Amino acid sequence: MEHARAVVIPAANEVVLRDVVLTPAGDNDVTIETCYTSISAGTERMLLAGRMPHPMLQFPVIPGYETVGRIIATGSNVPREMLDKMVYVGGARCYEGVNPAWGGQSSHLHADYTRVVPLEGMDATHGVLLALAATALHGVDIAGDITGKRVLILGQGPVGQIAARIALARGAEVVVVDRVLARLALAEGSQIVDVSVQSLAEQKIVPCEVIIEASGSMAALTSTLSALANNGRVVLLGYYDEIQLPYMPLFLKQAQLLTAKEWAPGDLQRCRDMIVSGNLDVSPLLTHTQHIDNLQAAYHVALSDLDCLKLLLTW
C-alpha cells in the first residue's frame, strides 16, 4: 500500500480530501484499511482555526486520532492471528510530505501493532469513542477516590458524558452541568443542571468536593468555582489555549488544580473492556453519521451543530 486518501488541512479554515503518499510499512507494522473515524470537536476545531501549538500546527496536516479499521497486512514481526482483526488506533505517522496531527483521518495507514486495540466483542463503530472514553477515565482517576463524594461534571460533550457515567459507577453523587438541551437530554447524573437560563450560583448548588471541567471553557469554569467545596479539587479535562482563572476563589477554598494529559497506559483497553462488559454504554453518544465523501458537510455538522454530540464518519 503506497497511497491513501486522507483528510488534509492545508491551511487555516480549509479542509480537503486528497491523495497522500504512505511511507513503507515496517516489520512491526500492521496496515489498516479504515472503516470509521470521527471528528474531534476540540483538537480539530483548534487545528482548523490555526490555534494548535507547534509542532502539531505545521500545515499541511492530517488530523484525527479516532480510527477504526480492519488489518489487511502484517509485518514479519507481527503475530499472524492479527490479520483481518477489527482494531482501534489513535492516529499514525506514516505519511510523506504532510504533517500527521494526529494522522488518523486516512483510508489506509500503517501503525506499530502494539499500538492497536482489538475490538472483539463490541460494535466496531463504538471504537471511535475509545480515545475520548480513555480521556474521561483518566480524568476521573486523577480526581482520586470519589466514592460517596459530590462530583460536578462541567460540560456534557462526549468526554463529560462518559466521565459522568464512570463517576456514577464509582459511587459518586454526580451533578452534570451544560447549557445545551440536546446534551442534557442524553446525560446521566444524580442531578442534571441547565445553566442556559439561570446560572449555577443562582441555582445554589450544594458544594461539590470535585469539579471535572470538560467544557473546554475557562469562562464556564470560572462561573462554576462558587460550587466548589473547601479543599476541593478541580480537574482540567479539556484542552485550552491558556489558563485564565480568578485566583481569589481558588485561594479562599484552598483548591487543588489538576491537569489530565490524555490517558494513561492501559486506559484504552480498560475502556474497551468496560464497553464489552456492558458497564459503559456509549451507544447514545454517536448522534450523527456522514460518509467521507461528504467531508465539508461532516465538518460543518461536527463543529457547528449543537445537537451533534459525536459524528461517525464512514469510509
Residue type, 16: V
Main-chain dihedrals φ then ψ at residue 212, nearest 5 degrees: -105, 115
Q: Does residue 57 have a pLDDT over 90? A: no
- Tell me, yes or no, whether 66 and 138 share the same domain: no
Cell readout for 298 is 461532516
Domain carrying residue 290: 3-120+282-314
- Tell me, yes or no, whether 69 and 97 share the same domain: yes
Which residues neighbour 187 within 8 Å (Cβ) at sequence distance 6 or greater?
A: 156, 161, 164, 176, 178
- Tell me, yes or no, whether 149 and 102 share the same domain: no
Q: 36, 46, 59: which is closest to 131 by C-alpha?
A: 36
Digit-coded pLDDT (tens) for 257-307:
999 988 999 999 999 999 999 999 999 999 999 999 999 999 999 999 999
Q: Determine the pLDDT at residue 90.
A: 96
Digit-coded pLDDT (tens) for 127-179:
999 999 999 999 999 999 999 999 999 999 999 999 999 999 999 999 999 99
Domain membership of residue 267 (yes or no) is no
- Tell me, yes or no, whether 243 and 286 share the same domain: no
- Tell me, yes or no, whether 13 and 107 share the same domain: yes
Q: Determine the pLDDT at residue 262.
A: 85
Mean pLDDT of 11-30: 97
Domain membership of residue 245 (yes or no) is yes
What is the domain-level CATH number for residue 213? Answer: 3.40.50.720
Domain membership of residue 268 (yes or no) is no
pTM for the model stands at 0.95
Domain membership of residue 265 (yes or no) is no
Q: Does residue 37 have a pLDDT over 90? A: yes
Q: Cα dist. 67→35, 86, 134 in Å? A: 8, 11, 14
Q: Cα dist. 312→94, 105, 183, 234, 294 in Å? A: 23, 12, 17, 31, 12
Domain membership of residue 9 (yes or no) is yes
What is the domain-level CATH number for residue 64? Answer: 3.90.180.10
